[in-house]
Amino acid sequence: MSGKFFHGVLIAVVLSFTAVSVSAFAKEPLPSWNDGPAKKAIVEFVERVTKAGDLDFVAPSKRIAVFDNDGTLWAEQPMYFQLAFAIDRVKALAPKNPGWKNKQPFKAAIENDIDTLMKFGKRGLVELIMATHAGISTVDFERIVEIWIAGARHPKTGMLYRDMVYQPMLELLAYLRANGFKTFIVSGGGIEFMRPWAESVYGIPPDQIVGSTIKVQYEQQDGKPALMRLPELNFIDDKAGKPVGIHYHIGVRPIAAFGNSDGDFEMLEWVTSGTGPRLGVLIHHDDAEREFAYDRDSHVGKLARGLDEAPERGWTVVDMKSAWRCVFPEKCVAVTQSK
């Protein structure tokens, strides 16, 4: 974690408790965002719903903002980072499962054959992920995730996966919270894969994370209770499942939604079709140099319908290349210092 990033998180924490810092922050709420239509739309929305006495004022308890994770808060190329984690798990468990060598999708995972893996589709991948993570307690699984996230690095950038989060989005999370919003993750990824690190990285506590789940069961183990992870899907929090996951976990319709792929379409649709002020935002990855460029034809994070319908639905498209001054926290240190 870079110093700048840690500093950002620290600011966010302090901001939740001091009114003085909030107004200081308000002067330059999103330093890593370039001035332009995306930043303007976000800031105008926040000012609109927080202006006491205004018709569009929204009470703090109703200021709920939901964020997709993969491709919205952190990167997702060349594959969902949770898939990289799953592949590492498959490799670690392979000696005890000799049959996997000849059985897909395990074979592809062991052989690092990502192209073949991707052909099983998102649902297949989620099932692979779930299957390789079952048969242990929730406590053991949490520890495995913690160890992995502390050291695992991206094959192309060489960065820790956990450092491949978007600085402009961290600032946006802090900005929203400073303005009384409660921020939630609503991801197709596994809820238990995100919880061990999301609080330190995004400032989002475990109970504000919605995601896909496998079944767990309450059992006695050596005279002590444990929650065992079963190899059975419980809920897929993707596409039309996102509004459902929001309903089960949050219980009110959020007023702002941030996503980046057509897997977020229904979430944005649900959020922006409510009454009163609404904000729908799509992060558009058009920045091959600083991050990745992909949309309509991508296997991971495909964005087509969202781009087509954003104008008529009033959704804001954030073209990363022009909207963001910098992308990853460690790169943002230099940019902000030279400002």
Q: Which stretches of the chain bind a copy of itself, using CB under 8 A?
A: 61, 64, 138, 182, 184, 191-192, 195, 199, 205-209, 213, 216-218, 224-225, 227, 234, 240-241, 243-244, 247-252, 266, 269-270, 273
Instruction: Kindly state the smallest distance separating residue 37's Cβ from a copy of itself, in Å.
Output: 26
Closer to a copy of itself at the Cβ: 78 or 306?
A: 306
Separation of alpha carbons 304 and 103, rounded Å: 33
| 208 class by beta-carbon count within 10 Å (0-12 exposed, 13-18 middle, 19+ buried) | buried
Rounded to the nearest whole angstrom, what is the least distance from the CB of residue 313 to a copy of itself in the complex? 12
As a whole number of angstroms, the distance between CA 159 and CA 254 comes to 33
**Would you say 79 or 194 has its CB closer to a copy of itself?**
194
Q: Smaller CB distance to a copy of itself: residue 109 or 214?
A: 214
Least Å distance, CB 289 to a copy of itself, is 37
**Cβ at position 68, least distance to a copy of itself in Å:** 16
- CB nearer to a copy of itself: give 5 or 141: 141
Q: Taking the complex as a whole, how short is the minimal distance between the CB of residue 21 and a copy of itself, in angstroms?
A: 15
Comparing CB distances to a copy of itself, the nearer of 106 and 202 is: 202
Sheet holding 279-284, edge to edge: 224-235, 209-221, 182-190, 64-67, 256-259, 279-284, 316-319
Residue 226 bridge partners (DSSP): 219
Q: Cβ 247 to a copy of itself, closest distance in Å? A: 5
Q: Give the residue with the Cβ less far from a copy of itself, 55 or 139.
A: 139
The Cα 283–Cα 257 span in angstroms is 11
- For a copy of itself, the closer CB: 97 or 217: 217
Which of 155, 206 has the CB closer to a copy of itself?
206
Nearer to a copy of itself, 32 or 212 (CB): 212
Structure tokens, 258: 């941030």
Q: Cβ-count burial of 323 within 10 angstroms (0-12 exposed, 13-18 middle, 19+ buried)?
A: buried
Of the chain, the end-to-end C-alpha distance in Å amounts to: 22
CB of 208 to a copy of itself, least distance (A): 7
Closest by CA to 21, choosing from 31, 11, 30, is 11
CA-based torsion, 259, 236, 313, 174: positive or negative = negative
| CB 181, CB 237: distance < 8 Å | no
Bridge-based pairing state of the strands 224-235 and 256-259: unpaired
Q: In a 3-state reduction of DSSP, which class is residue 232?
A: strand
* Shortest separation between residue 235's beta carbon and a copy of itself, angstroms: 9
CA dist 101 and 169 (Å) reads: 40
In whole angstroms, how close is the CB of 222 to a copy of itself at the nearest point?
A: 12
Instruction: Let me know: does 228 contact 219? Beta carbons within 8 Å.
Output: yes
